[in-house]
Amino acid sequence: MNPIPTELLPGVYRFDDTCNVYAITNGRGTIAIDFGSGRWLSALRRLKLPPLEHVFITHHHADQCEGLLARDDWPFAIHAPAGEKAMLEPAAVDEFWRTRRAGGVPRSYLPLRRGLPAATFDMAGWTDLFWGQARLRFIDTPGHGTGAVSVLLDADGRQVVFCGDAAHAGSTIWQPYHLEWDHWTGSGALLAWEGVQRLLGIGIDLLCPSHGPVVTQRIRPMLRTLAARLLALYRAKGSICAGERDYYLPPRILQCGAREVLPGLYQFAANSYLLRSACGDAMVIDPTRADIALLEPLLAELGDPAVTAATASHFHLDHTDGLPLLKARHGTAIHLHPQVAEPIREIGAIDAPWLPAEPIVADHLLPRDGTWTWNEYRFRCAPLPGQTWWHCALMTTIAGRRVLFAGDNFQPPSRWNGTGGFSSFNGSVFEEGFVESARRIIDWRPDVVATGHGTYVLYNERYYLKVIRWARAAQAAVKALCPSGKLERDYYLHKLPRRTK
């Protein structure tokens, strides 16, 4: 952190803090755009600038304003974007932390520990506030926050835009994973693109971002390139296999409503599979707790086989939280691939989405890359990362056909653009994930792919070849937005044993 500020224009200073803090003085008072840790205030005093009267926060992230938590009685007004109230108002921030693990991807990856009681949420897009004769106009530029804004101000005859993290020098985005507002869609990237389009409509002499250098030259070309890169990311969040058919495999419907995919293989409720052994035992794959009620009628229709084994394709709760219930009701042994077992044996040790509420400990670990036998079924086991790193492939022969239990990496084209999606928080990986997993499936050549969420299709090699091309294009789209050009530095949140840089 450099204690010496940079004077960008007469009366306009940039302080190096946890983010760039910009101070503007009119000779009688001073305002600041963002606040950072607050350590920059000592440098402000050394400059003998007039007292700080207002702080304007561009978005809710802790690196923008955490220093404001040091006290509740600051001698200046604190202004915040109207659209960021849900991530800055004290009760809302408390609710965020209470419910952070209630679903999947959280609403923020960098929230404050508690809210700002003194903030006034009066920075709404297309509106103005006046500081003496100076006009501050606010422009909606979502991305790092759903309600993030940029601030436009005239200074020394120049039009200056303080854009928060809507843009970074080099047509990039600071920590682009903040644009992943959920675990699979491109909604954050698309709205960030709309914000950049708004900036492109303004004549800007200085573009002042929250991180990185101030942009003074070729601002519009830089923003045009950034807009194109954001659209590339949005498209990468779309179909992974454009133009392919589903190759749906019609099942036989049982009286209980379950579906017989092949003789001995049944799909029941929303997400779960049951495999019946000739010896009278049964195995459940990907049991979610909500599905267990519909397991009992299926077992009754099949003659009440004993559920002796259960496993899961990946750790997400809608594939694993039924495991403890099976064990409690049926004495079922839990068999998990080591990569699937890792995030759920101690909840919170790995910060990832869709974790079950309670730890799930495997009774037996499957081979990391090898074979496992349950009764007459010999399973081929291997890692299958993609949607998440903690994912595996399980393939066995059922009724003479090779069946791959493939989880959520690869869905038919009509379901979720062909995949459960990718996001950094979910531990998604490109080359060492989607590409290598697609290659593995091509190498294994299953006859039937039984995916998560009740879908089963015939194998189609063309689909997986398209996945490989898509994954490399998606990786390139994300890397293009990284200021360092390195995924490990700017995008990947989890330190995983992979090679992609």
Q: In terms of C-beta density within 10 A (0-12 exposed, 13-18 middle, 19 or more buried), how is residue 47 classed?
A: middle
User: Is 468 in contact with 431 (CB distance < 8 Å)?
Assistant: no
Dihedral, CA of residue 129, residue 134, residue 139 and residue 142, to nearest 10: -80
Of 384, 403, 289, give the one whose Cα is nearest residue 339. Answer: 384
Residue 70 burial by Cβ neighbours in a 10 Å radius (0-12, 13-18, 19+): exposed
Q: Is the pLDDT of residue 222 over 50?
A: yes
Pair of tokens at residue 107: 């609403």
Distance between CA 96 and CA 233 in Å, rounded?
27
- Let me know if 382 is exposed, middle or buried by CB neighbors in 10 A (0-12, 13-18, 19+): buried
How far does CA 309 lie from the centroid of its chain?
Answer: 32
Segment 333-373, tens digit of pLDDT: 999 999 999 999 999 899 999 999 999 999 999 999 999 99
Give the chain's domains with CATH numbers: 6-236 (3.60.15.10), 263-490 (3.60.15.10)
If you average pLDDT over every residue of the chain, what do you get? Answer: 95
pLDDT tens across 440-466, in order? 999 999 999 999 999 999 999 999 999
Q: Where are the beta strands (DSSP E) in 384-421?
A: 392-398, 401-407
pLDDT of the residue at 103: 73
Looking at residue 102, what is its pLDDT?
77
